[in-house]
Amino acid sequence: MRAALQRVEANKGAPGIDGMPTEALRPLLHEHWPRIKQSLLDGSYRPAPVRRVEIPKPGGGVRQLGIPTVLDRLIQQALHQVLQPLFEPGFSEHSYGFRPKRSAQQAVTAAQEYVGEGRRWVVDIDLEKFFDRVNHDVLMARVVRKVGDRQVLRLIRRYLQAGVMENGVVSPQVEGTPQGGPLSPLLSNILLDDLDKELERRGHRFCRYADDCNIYVGSYKAGLRVFDSVCAFLRGRLRLKVNEAKSAVARPWKRKFLGYSMTCERQPRLKVADASVDRLRAKVRTLMRQGRGRSLQATVKALEPLLRGWFNYFRLGKVKKQLEDFDEWLRHRLRCIIWRQAKRSYTRAVMLMKRGLDEQRAWASATNGHGPWYNAGASHMNQAYPKRYFDACGLYSLLDEWRRLQLVS
């Protein structure tokens, strides 16, 4: 429980339906822990409903999260710490999500190796609203295989059935394991381990990260057969539904997996999926829109955590053109900020002359009648504010970081 408390406090997170912040958990336990402990031991403890939160999904739509109270997060975390060592040794080598010492980067690297071996078709399986559709009886039947303690089993089921509060109304939970609690990722792996074992029994090469599963085969016809049989297995054995609109049998370079894609060469190279770059651009636009009026240095500083975090995830990409294009686009937007902030033609002309343009060209550029976006991409602004200017400002460059990484590796 002490280890769980430290983990919950470190993770912080939003309050549940009671509004209690993480900082208030320790004082609560000092006062009420004997009563809470006794209710857990005698089986009378009742979890509170989770608070419904909707966040936008990268591909459109919303993802529904269920935020437990901080006390329930503590108990779930303690359960997770005890249950994971029981189940982890039996999980598949092809499962990468929510597991210690495993990552999305390992999954995409394995996918790249399968395609390089000649399996140049992928069966991309997308489960429809997986976390909202988990059948409680099917899931608990898998938990019972390694957990014999009735009190623990009863507590897990109560968490599954705790219900959801939305707009002050509590709705019962008859299926699903709400995303947002510490226990949910482990429960998802326990359920989908049956899929992993079935694919291993059939001798398939596959990568699964949470509910995202890619199976690599040698031909289109084989892919269709695998797709039909896996869909039947998921429906019949696990009572899960495949989202056929988002699933497909296709070439790996025409699909994305965990934000990555790959080239169509015999030995494919990993690349960042176009949709992932588009999402980054959208985040940059939002950040700049929120920070209108601040200095260029403040904008550059605000961008760094976003750009650094994005690159750290996509550091395996080997195609530099996307990063080069993004860097150019970002500098274009920053030049646009500089142009807008100058406001008047006189100020713009003086600004350009200070940056080394001759008087005639500076005045012609400042009074050309075009808008900020045109001028930000024109030769006069590129000459006045070249890449080295933004480097001196401390702008994080995806392309420069990529080149540095290639030299190191």
Concatenated DSSP letters for 191-252?
A: HHHHHHHHHHHTT-EEEEETTEEEEEESSHHHHHHHHHHHHHHHHHHS---B-TTT-EEE-G
Q: Sheet holding 50-56: strands in order across?
A: 62-67, 50-56, 164-166, 169-171
* DSSP string covering 88-116: GGGS-TTB-TT-TT--HHHHHHHHHHHHH
Contacts of 278 (CB under 8 A, 6+ apart): none
Residues 215, 196: Cα–Cα separation, whole Å: 11
* The predicted structure's pLDDT at residue 85: 95
* The predicted structure's pLDDT at residue 73: 95
Q: What is the DSSP letter of 47?
A: P
Q: Is the pLDDT of residue 109 over 70?
A: yes
Contacts of 260 (CB under 8 A, 6+ apart): 108, 270, 271, 272, 273, 276, 314, 316, 317
Q: Which residues of 157-170 are buried (b: 16+ CB within 10 A; e: fewer)?
A: eebbebbbbbeeee
Q: Sign of the CA dihedral 350, 372, 328, 396?
A: positive
Q: What is the DSSP letter of 174?
A: S
Task: Determine the residue type at 374.
Answer: Y
Residues 187, 152: Cα–Cα separation, whole Å: 14
Q: Are strands 50-56 and 62-67 parallel, antiparallel or unpaired?
A: antiparallel
Q: Is the pLDDT of residue 93 over 70?
A: yes
Choice among 124-133, 337-346, 350-359 with the minimum mean pLDDT = 124-133
Residues 66, 51: Cα–Cα separation, whole Å: 5
Identify which of 406, 402, 212, 245 has the alpha carbon closest to the alpha carbon of residue 326: 402
Residues 213, 185: Cα–Cα separation, whole Å: 15
What mean pLDDT do residues 167-188 have? 84
Question: Residue 58 — very low, low, confident or very high, per pLDDT cuts 50/70/90?
Answer: low
More confident residue, 167 or 194: 194
Question: Residue 192 — very low, low, confident or very high, per pLDDT cuts 50/70/90?
Answer: very high
Q: Sign of the CA dihedral 221, 223, 225, 228?
A: negative
Question: Tens digit of pLDDT for each residue in 289-328?
Answer: 876 778 899 999 999 999 999 999 999 999 999 999 999 9
Residues 263, 115: Cα–Cα separation, whole Å: 10
Contacts of 274 (CB under 8 A, 6+ apart): 261, 322
How much of the chain, in percent, has pLDDT values that exceed 90?
Answer: 84
Q: Sign of the CA dihedral 393, 394, 396, 397?
A: positive
Residue pair 373/323 in contact by the 8 Å Cβ criterion:
no
Question: Tens digit of pLDDT for each residue in 263-279?
Answer: 999 999 999 999 999 99
pTM: 0.88
Question: Tens digit of pLDDT for each residue in 112-134?
Answer: 999 999 999 999 999 988 888 89
* The predicted structure's pLDDT at residue 62: 72
Q: Please report, for the chain, how many H helices and E strands are present, in that order.
A: 18, 10
Contacts of 17 (CB under 8 A, 6+ apart): 48, 49, 50, 51, 69, 165
Residue pair 314/259 in contact by the 8 Å Cβ criterion:
yes
Question: Tens digit of pLDDT for each residue in 1-10?
Answer: 999 999 999 9
Residues 319, 315: Cα–Cα separation, whole Å: 11
Choice among 84-93, 127-136, 195-204 with the minimum mean pLDDT = 127-136
